[in-house]
């Protein structure tokens, strides 16, 4: 993958909150950690194939690459609970992420039509670093399911040899729900050994 404006912007925008919260994962020298992680971040991205017109959720993959770069750069590996807390706070305390999530109306016709189009595109992709999913509409716009049978993050983490760190990223779906007026539930994940990631979204009353 070519390192372009999006990849550089993602690092610039999220580095401050990733660096600020390293004490959660047992690191006091946050500047040194992020210096190592930045190098690893670009190395990870360069090994990912270019996204094509049928590939989806590129920003999700880039965010996960940043998390993976930090994890790989740690001398002592934290627990999944520590990593989950770290990633949630690093993402959700970021002002850009807060604005983006709070302005995302999952329960509008426009959003769900866009999601369905992405799902249709994803069925045509052969890129292992992308997602493949389908959308099942609820009785009203206030609920829908997104069923994934391929996950770009899970593939990337396996390729990097750090599959054990993936559950913290999966848990972030619940953290995002806090800022999108959503009740989020799921019975299984690909990273947890399931056959799919069955994501259920319902508007919070």
Per-residue pLDDT of the chain (205 residues), as tens digits, is 999 999 999 999 999 999 999 999 999 999 999 999 999 999 999 999 999 999 999 999 999 999 999 999 999 999 999 999 999 999 999 999 999 998 999 999 999 999 999 999 999 999 999 999 999 999 999 999 999 999 999 999 999 999 999 999 999 999 999 899 999 999 999 999 999 999 999 999 8
pTM of the predicted protein model: 0.95
Cα first-last separation, the chain:
42
Strands (E), the chain: 132-137, 143-150, 182-186, 197-203
Residue 155 domain boundaries: 5-203
Residue 97: CATH number of its domain: 3.30.1380
> Three-state SS for 61?
helix
Q: What is the pLDDT of residue 89?
A: 96
pLDDT at 205: 85
The answer to whether the CB of 55 falls within 8 A of the CB of 130 is: yes
The count of domains in the chain is 1
């Amino acid at each position: 993958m070519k390192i372009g404006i999006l990849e550089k912007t993602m690092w610039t925008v999220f580095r401050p909150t990733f660096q600020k919260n390293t004490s959660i994962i047992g690191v006091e020298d946050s500047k040194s950690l992020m210096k190592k992680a930045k190098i690893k971040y670009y190395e990870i991205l360069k090994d990912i194939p270019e996204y094509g017109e049928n590939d989806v959720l590129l920003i999700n993959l880039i965010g996960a690459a940043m998390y993976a770069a930090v994890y790989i750069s740690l001398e002592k590996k934290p627990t999944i609970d520590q990593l989950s807390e770290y990633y949630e706070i690093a993402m959700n305390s970021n002002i850009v992420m807060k604005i983006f999530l709070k302005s995302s109306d999952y329960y509008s016709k426009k959003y769900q039509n866009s999601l369905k189009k992405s799902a249709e595109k994803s069925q045509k992709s052969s890129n292992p670093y992308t997602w493949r999913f389908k959308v099942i509409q609820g009785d009203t716009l206030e609920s829908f399911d997104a069923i994934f049978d391929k996950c770009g993050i899970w593939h990337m983490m396996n390729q990097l040899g750090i599959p054990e760190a993936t559950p913290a990223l999966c848990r972030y779906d619940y953290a995002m729900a806090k800022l999108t007026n959503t009740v989020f539930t799921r019975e299984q994940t690909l990273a947890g050994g399931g056959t799919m990631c069955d994501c259920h979204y319902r508007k919070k009353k």
